Structures are given as structure tokens and as C-alpha cells.
Amino acid sequence: YYGTADATPLFVALLGEPDAAPEIGRFMATLVERELIVRHAESHFPGRREYAFRHSLVRDGAYAMLTEEDQALGHRLVGAWLKQVGETDPGTLASHFEQGGEWPRAAALYAQAMRHALDASDLDAVLARAKRAVGCGARKTYAGLPAYSAPGPSRCVNAAAGGTQWFQTLVRPPS
């Protein structure tokens, strides 16, 4: 969502300037006119405008101009804003909080995303999200948080699902 969002309220939140909405709206119109961004016909969030950078190089260049501190702050604010406007994908939210340095919050959201992947029998996603949760500080125990380990040639994922019910899945890499 750095690059795809309901730009005006998001930028108001990022800038912390509630009175800036008209100016931001004009700025967004200029960016559309100069073909740096495009407005999507439909939005991820009903009733909101959604824009995207016209090219990933422009998005990546704009992002690279931010300091590491501003990138982290931006991800924290975007994560909070997405949650406020109704984003329901815990993986999307977790990614922003992880990049924003809110690792406990990200770990909990990755655990949620892991459970969703487990419910969908997507074992690769379960493994990836467990690894990200542990990377964010989730304890490598079976105390309600995901655990990830890589013993020898196989990868073992353990996940809590539904409180006290436990699943253990052995995932072997493709030959």
C-alpha cells in the first residue's frame, strides 16, 4: 500500500495535517495529469479513491528517497490507517507493522495469517508466515504462537489453531 491507496486521507494521516486535504487532492490530480500515478476504476475499499504509481520504478524511486526512519514511520501509519479503514488481511497488516518496527504486533498478525493459511491448507504460506512471525520475535514455543524450525532436509511447522487444538505438519521440500 505504499503506492496504492486512497491517497488523500492516507497522506493526511502520514503528514499529520488535517487541513491539507484540498492541497493533497490538487497534488494528486497533478500527478495523474503528469502520468506518474493512475486512478483505479475500482477501489479495494468501497467509496474511496485508489491510486497507484504508473510504474514500479517511480514507486521504488520515491520510496528510496525516504530515510529509514521515515520509511518505518510511514509503514506504521499505513498499517494503522489500513486497519482503521477495514483491511481484513492479517498478512498485509503484519507486513506494514513489521517494516514499521512494531514486531510484537506484526508477530501476532502473522500468527493470524498463518492460521488462515492453515485453514486453506496452504502449507507453503503456513511455513512462510511462521518464519516471519518468529523473525518478528514470536517465541519458538508452542504457547499459542507459531514455531518454525528447519531440521535437516525437512522443514517442520507447528501451529496453534483454535486455542487448544494443535496441528503439526511436516513439509518436505520438492525433490
Residues listed for the chain: 175
pLDDT of residue 121 exceeding 90: no
Question: What is the DSSP annotation of 93-128?
Answer: HHHHHHHTT-HHHHHHHHHHHHHHHHHTT-HHHHHH
Using a pLDDT cut of 70, give the percent of the chain over it.
75
pLDDT of residue 119 exceeding 50: yes
Question: pLDDT tens, 70-116?
Answer: 999 989 988 998 898 889 999 999 999 999 999 999 998 998 998 89
Cα 116 to Cα 125: distance, rounded to the nearest angstrom: 9
Pick the range with the lowest mean pLDDT from 12-21, 53-62, 138-147.
138-147
pLDDT of residue 143 exceeding 60: no
**What is the pLDDT, as a whole number, of residue 146?**
52
**What is the pLDDT, as a whole number, of residue 57?**
94
Q: For residue 71, with 0-12 CB atoms within 10 Å meaning exposed, 13-18 middle and 19 or more buried, which class applies?
A: middle
**What is the pLDDT, as a whole number, of residue 72?**
94
pLDDT of residue 174 exceeding 60: no
Pick the range with the lowest mean pLDDT from 5-19, 49-63, 153-167.
153-167
Exposure string over 15-28, b if 16+ CB within 10 A, otherwise e: eeeeeeeeebeeeb
Q: 21-25, 44-48, 88-92, 146-150: which has the highest mean pLDDT?
A: 88-92
pLDDT of residue 69 exceeding 90: yes
Instruction: For the chain, give the mean pLDDT.
Output: 76
Question: Would you state the cell numbers that stand for residue 53, as one nine-digit string?
Answer: 504509481
